[in-house]
Amino acid sequence: MKADKNKMFPVALSELHPELPSPFPLFVYLPLNDRMVEVRKEGDSLGPETYERLQREHHEQLWVPESHATEVKAFLEVVAKTRSPKNSVPPVLGKSAQIRERTGKLLKQEKPLAAEALEELSELARELLEEPQAEEMRAYADELIAAAAEDSPLFEAVRLLRAQQGAQEHSVFVGSAATALAAAAGHSDPGWIARLLCAATFHDIGLVKVRQSVLAKNRQDRSTNEQAEFEAHVSESVHLLETSIDEIPKDVTRMVAEHHESPDGTGFPGGLKAGELHEGSRYLFLANELVHLCEGENGADGLSPKDALSRLEKYFPEKLKNALLNH
């Protein structure tokens, strides 16, 4: 939403607690956009990883609507009692935090990144795909778009949109998986990845035009007209991007237009084949299919990301096949 600091007040991040649900929404101010972006809804906790990331990105304060002043005062009193004498928050532990740290160190090198740093980023992605996990792929993708977001209002907005959602949320999971797949194949430049993440974030916005009764059905249970209605979400997504007040890169719109195009020509809406597709679309298609397999379709139980990836090998671009075979 458009920033209006007269109707909001700041709360120091250091006064909050990552694991306590707050009875008020929390916003981050984006100076490049002059907008407030909600990072947590009323009743939700920030979570350790988001808290740690906000610290690392030097967000010293978050913003709260004035209407919640009473709740904030009471909440901060509770937080103060739960703090240690040093008023510190324990560091985030675990594999995801380690990935963030490794990725972040590589991205802090001199810009533009040297070939050696880009290859190390690709190697890390290949490691992630040995036992792919949503949280770990998300940690990697978030660091890459954060690096690209430093000078881009659009990328910064996408980064924060991802931050509001869990790793298993469809668009987040798709973006994280697409990032790992593309980077493993050698596309580890933060700007390239950021455009892919934009496409992943917006690829299904056209579903708002599809009736819930149609969305609730498996593909084989839809009538011809219902399937046509579902497939129209692609053109609707493209239309929404093309008429957006934000300037959306053309390759982002193209990837959204092609996210259901299978490289064997059996996809929709154009039945395009591998050689006709934007390279980013190949990874977006793979990631979208992977997530659908993990979520479970047509009454089947969801697969693990590793098993889903194995099932999709026939669709891998040559660069990805070669990279994983040689790893």
pLDDT tens by residue, 15-48: 888 888 889 999 888 776 677 888 888 888 888 8
Residue at token pair 């906790």: 45
Q: What is the mean pLDDT of residues 145-170?
A: 89
pTM given for the model: 0.78
Q: Interior CA angle at 45 toward 44 and 48, to 5°?
A: 150
The pLDDT of residue 90 is: 47
Tokens of 97: 């935090």
Q: What torsion, rounded to 10 degrees, do the Cα atoms 92, 200, 64, 56 define?
A: 30
The pLDDT of residue 323 is: 94
The pLDDT of residue 31 is: 72
Ramachandran quadrant class, 84 (left: phi over 0; alpha: psi -120 to 50; beta: rest): beta
Among 67-76, 80-89, 162-171, 280-289, the range scoring the smallest mean pLDDT is 80-89
CA-derived radius of gyration, the chain? 21
Mean pLDDT for all residues in the chain: 89
pLDDT higher than threshold 50 for residue 87: no
Helix (H) or strand (E) holding 11: strand 8-12
Closest CA to 249 of 297, 194, 298, 205: 194
What the chain holds in terms of domains, given with CATH numbers, is 5-82 (no CATH), 95-325 (1.10.3210)
Q: How many C-beta neighbours within 10 Å does residue 46 have?
A: 23
